[in-house]
Amino acid sequence: MEVIQSIQEMQQRSDTFRRQGKIIGFVPTMGFLHEGHLSLIRIAREKAELVVVSIFVNPTQFGANEDLDRYPRDLNRDQKLAQKTGTDILFYPSERDIYPEGYLTYVHVDSLSRILCGESRPTHFRGVATICSILFHMVKPHFAVFGQKDFQQAVIIRKMVQDLRFDLEILLGPIVREPDGLAMSSRNTYLSDQERDDARILNQSLHRAEQMIRGGEVKASILISEIQQLIDKKRSTRIDYIQIFDPETLQPLAEIRKQAVIALAVFVGKTRLIDNVIIQVPG
Ligand code: AMP
């Protein structure tokens, strides 16, 4: 595995591989890798001849009072994990190179970025869309793999790729969970023991909603209220949103008739966690 810091070097390597007709697969991350990230690297490994993983804690996707300064970082550990999982190039650009002095250009995927997570994090998806387009121009991948854990992010990036005619495909990898169901996240390290215990309710409540749907419940309001009651029972939780929506448009659904996503964002102590399930109604 090679570690590349220089943007020019990354672009030259990608140009060479493209000239050789090799398929480049890309997994963008903010590092502090866990099994969720590694599962995406494995998906890329299966389909690509060159697997590039980027690590960049992107300042423009953090709000003013968010955790940019204390976001966990461990490059040594990340290097070992990335290499073990079959990464060819670890791209690790500096903040100064990505956003040089005088940087002014941002990508804003309209309406989709204002709802759900965008309501409480108004500049978040602008930062995400911007860094993804910058990285796509540097890595020049044929496809990029994103996690279902950040479902709205994947929808927004797909829309950006479609609207701006980026010549690449966006793939979605399933959510990887801890043994007790909590979705893996670099931010789980912030949780105290009590909060970690309470955090299990996120997945458990989604699971309960799935059970109700299997039992014939179709009304979003009833499902949402059940999830809400379960989460509110835990002392350290504060709900940001619970929403049931169409997987493509992200528009809220009153009833679940075919495909739907149930997604939630919950503060557990001071840590904001997200989770979701995709619902496929048979028939
Ligand atoms: P991050 O480092 O948090 O920016 O995440 C990088 C990529 O990993 C994104 O596409 C996330 O959706 C994905 N990811 C994060 N957590 C998980 C997880 N538990 N399972 C699958 N993918 C994940």
How far apart CA 130 and CA 124 sit, in angstroms, is: 10
Which residue's CA is the nearest one to ligand 1's atom 19? 184
* pLDDT for the residue numbered 185: 98
How far apart CA 228 and CA 96 sit, in angstroms, is: 43
Contact 122, 82 (CB under 8 A): no
- Which amino acids are annotated catalytic? 37
Q: What are 52's strand-pairing partners? A: 26, 89
At 173-228, the pLDDT tens digits run 999 999 999 999 999 999 999 999 999 999 999 999 999 999 999 999 999 999 99
Task: Say if ligand 1 is within 6 A of residue 183 CB.
Answer: yes
How far apart CA 92 and CA 89 sit, in angstroms, is: 9
Q: Identify each DSSP E strand in the chain by its residue range.
A: 2-4, 24-29, 50-55, 89-91, 143-147, 169-173, 237-245, 259-268, 271-280
Q: Ligand 1 center to residue 37 CA distance, Å? A: 5
Task: Say if ligand 1 is within 6 A of residue 237 CB.
Answer: no
* pLDDT for the residue numbered 282: 82
Span between the terminal Cα atoms of the chain, in Å: 46
How far apart CA 147 and CA 135 sit, in angstroms, is: 17
Q: Ligand 1 center to residue 156 CA distance, Å? A: 15
Q: Are strands 2-4 and 169-173 parallel, antiparallel or unpaired?
A: unpaired
Q: Ligand 1 center to residue 118 CA distance, Å? A: 17
Q: Which of 32, 124, 149 to mutate to test the pocket of ligand 1 (most atoms within 8 A of CB)?
A: 149
Task: Say if ligand 1 is within 6 A of residue 175 CB.
Answer: yes
Task: Say if ligand 1 is within 6 A of residue 127 CB.
Answer: no
* pLDDT for the residue numbered 28: 99
Task: Say if ligand 1 is within 6 A of residue 269 CB.
Answer: no
How far apart CA 108 and CA 120 sit, in angstroms, is: 16
* pLDDT for the residue numbered 283: 73
* pLDDT for the residue numbered 61: 98
Reading across the β-sheet that carries 89-91, which strands appear in turn?
Answer: 2-4, 89-91, 50-55, 24-29, 143-147, 169-173
Q: Which of 33, 34, 37 to mutate to test the pocket of ligand 1 (most atoms within 8 A of CB)?
A: 37
* pLDDT for the residue numbered 139: 98
How far apart CA 202 and CA 186 sit, in angstroms, is: 16
Query: Could you tell me if residue 219 is left (phi over 0), alpha (psi between -120 and 50 degrees) or otherwise beta?
Result: beta
* pLDDT for the residue numbered 223: 98
Cα dihedral sign, 4-6-9-13: positive
Q: Which of 35, 131, 150 to mutate to test the pocket of ligand 1 (most atoms within 8 A of CB)?
A: 150
pLDDT averages per 10-residue partition of the chain, 283 residues: 98 98 98 98 98 98 96 98 98 98 98 98 98 98 98 98 98 98 97 98 98 97 98 98 97 96 98 98 82
Residue 40 alpha carbon, nearest atom of ligand 1: 22
Helices (H), 69-217: 75-84, 95-98, 117-120, 124-139, 151-163, 193-198, 200-214
> Would you say how long the chain is, in residues?
283
